[in-house]
Copies of this chain bind each other. A is one copy, B any other.
């Protein structure tokens, strides 16, 4: 890999979440689950970088409670940055930029979520390489996924004119919030909108400049941490300063305010795996139309998403479009269209203090 093509992937693995309960728990968040393949999503995300970046250039940013599990799923030469406290994406990305900038101020970072799925790895590499080229010129670059349905669960990117960098790059006119159903339909039909997949590519120095301009409290913290990068005092500096970062997303803090944002439109079989309902986007259904893991006996049952408990058969008779998840200590049966409501179960368990299941 020629130096000019060097990419520093930054995998954001700080997420916690409950949309995959009972598979996901506080100590076993989505990125640690084998949802898209037989490997955890974080392993898939790392493996997807083969041929694009060297393992020693990969940074993983995560919280304390998952650091150990994540390290166990990644090669030793991957650098894991452990946030002493979660401070949302602006701080996490700023931290990664600070670490990269210490050795390579104009180094190009590619920020990637740890818990999404990508089916077409070649197209993914092509897109990231193009984004990196544009970013090397100084632009902040975001990846915009060509929408395939009027999804109301994502933010959208409104695409403007061609970007001076050429190729597929466009200017971003605006980032727009999650739309209602009708608005989402208009967006998709217009052809002017892309899904915001939370993937950003930029030079370390440019991002730190933008943070200094738009989020000076964060820039001050990062400047203190920068002094300790590569020293034995790094962890202590991180613990001391990082919690003072304001907790805000990179979208709000920087991307929506910066001037020169480019977007690379892309289609690489992306799914955010937002809930069990999205598993059929990335996992093949069996001959009966069910996406299953485990020993399933299905009769007149179709469109179900089933994860059985090892060694325990799940019999489905005449039921359709359900999510059935058996983790041994809890069982979920959910209408596939209502998988978002699983959080109500988690809230109820929290309310009654059932920590064993959270």
Contacts and interface: CB of A to CB of B under 8 A. Distances in A.
Interface of A: 21-22, 297, 299-300, 308-309, 312-319, 322, 324, 326, 328-335, 337-339, 341-342, 344-345, 348-349, 354, 357
A-B complex: 9 closest residue pairs judged by Cβ atoms: A318-B338, A318-B335, A317-B334, A315-B345, A299-B344, A314-B331, A315-B332, A319-B335, A317-B341
A319 B322 CA distance: 8
A173 B190 CA distance: 75
A334 B345 CA distance: 22
Contacts of A333: 314-317, 319, 322, 324, 333
Q: How many copies does the complex hold?
A: 2
A309 B314 CA distance: 14
18 contacts: A297-B349, A299-B348, A300-B338, A300-B341, A312-B330, A313-B357, A314-B330, A315-B345, A316-B333, A317-B333, A317-B334, A317-B335, A317-B338, A318-B334, A318-B335, A318-B341, A319-B334, A326-B331
**Chain A interface, DSSP helix/strand/loop, else mixed:** mixed
B300 A317 contact: no
A223 to B, nearest CB: 47
B318 A331 contact: no
